[in-house]
Structure 1
Amino acid sequence: MTDAHAARSRLDPGIDRDIYPMPSFTTFPVADLDRSRAWYEALGFITLAVVPAPDGAPLVVHLRRMRYQDILLVPGTPTPGFRVSFAAGEVDLTAVAETARRRVHAAERAGTISGPERTPWYALELTAIDPDGYAIVLTAPLLDDSARDDDWSRRVTGSVL
């Protein structure tokens, strides 16, 4: 581990900075790499790497929130409307939403943060729509007694083929 890598790991101790084969990832063509990078950093992602093109300009910005939660930003024409969901992990989604709203507002960034909202499938979801129109959903199961619905649970379990 390099000194720079160790220093960054101390700053973001919960984010895995290992390089590994990613089983899946999302690639978003964006209008402005710097603007989009700042947006995702406000949402809690870190910049794992900025890959340069042969001319030295940024070609790919590799973002990560948790292990296997990677987004690659590339220069291009945005295709708004795409939606990707990530497990929120063991975080307070209300606190994540408040922090993201504060950071986005302070940086005068476009886009929206909504929720967290309770879903009919007993989860909490926080939806963030970036300046290019991509939606990131952080989702967490409701684990308290208010989420308990034994009849619904039996129907879901019975629907598994």
Structure 2
Amino acid sequence: MSEFVSPVPMPALDAVAPEVYREIYGMPMFMTVPVADLEASKDFWMRGLGFIDLFSIPGRLTHLRRWAFQDVLLVPGEQADAASAMSVSFACVVGQLEEITEACEKLRPGCTAGPAEMPWNSLELTVVTPENTRVVMTAARPIDPDGAQADALREVGFDIPRN
């Protein structure tokens, strides 16, 4: 069996985020977000959430990316109201949460909630973008191999070595 290599680093409180991935590949998943103001949304996603403009077709489309397989297409259209807006989660590392919070709050005060510790062993920051997309930046936390959580995972069949 070959070893799968993920662009997401192993959970650790001092994990280092990978560089933004600039290569072209067949995208296994992406989201398309209709926006009322393409330039304003592009600016928020880039300066607030840390995406890059992989390429744009002025007035028609902006292809944004962070890590490999974190692709978002912004297109002109009617944005959703808050009640029907879509939600998406992107992996990040713990060390990025404060930076993302500060950047987003500077651009759009009041748009963030958290980070909150979740029962599935992650810290999650929720950001509402200018087009009402709910973006959850989720940072996995390491599992203490000698702790109760590791014991519970072993009970259901996960192979977690002890220290």
- TM-score range normalised by the length of the shorter chain: 0.7 to 0.9
* Alpha-carbon distance between aligned partners in 2 of 1:63 and 1:37, rounded to the nearest angstrom: 8
TM-score (norm 2): 0.71
* Alpha-carbon distance between aligned partners in 2 of 1:126 and 1:30, rounded to the nearest angstrom: 22
Q: 1:140 and 1:156, CA in 2 relative to 1: closer, same or farther beyond 3 A?
A: farther
Task: Map residues 50-89 of structure 1 onto 2, 5 A cutoff.
Answer: 50-52=56-58, 58-79=59-80, 80-88=84-92
- Deviation of residue 132 (structure 1)? 1.5
Alignment pair present for 1:138 and 2:137: yes
Give CA-to-partner distance per residue, 1:48-70, whole Å, 9 cap, x none.
Answer: 11124xxxxx2001100110100
Contact 2:20 2:68 survives alignment (8 Å): yes
Contact 2:143 2:150 survives alignment (8 Å): no
Q: 1:156 and 1:120, CA in 2 relative to 1: closer, same or farther beyond 3 A?
A: farther
Aligned pair partner of 1:40 in 38, 41, 45: 45
Show structure 2 runs of 5+ residues with no match: 1-17, 159-163
User: What is the SS of the residue equivalent to 1:96?
Assistant: helix
Task: Looking at secondary structure, tell me which structure has more helix per residue.
Answer: 1
Contact 2:105 2:112 survives alignment (8 Å): no
Show structure 1 runs of 5+ residues with no match: 1-12, 53-57
Percent identical among aligned pairs is: 40
- Give the number of the structure with larger relative contact order, counting CA–CA contacts within 8 Å between residues 6 or more apart: 2
* Alpha-carbon distance between aligned partners in 2 of 1:60 and 1:36, rounded to the nearest angstrom: 11
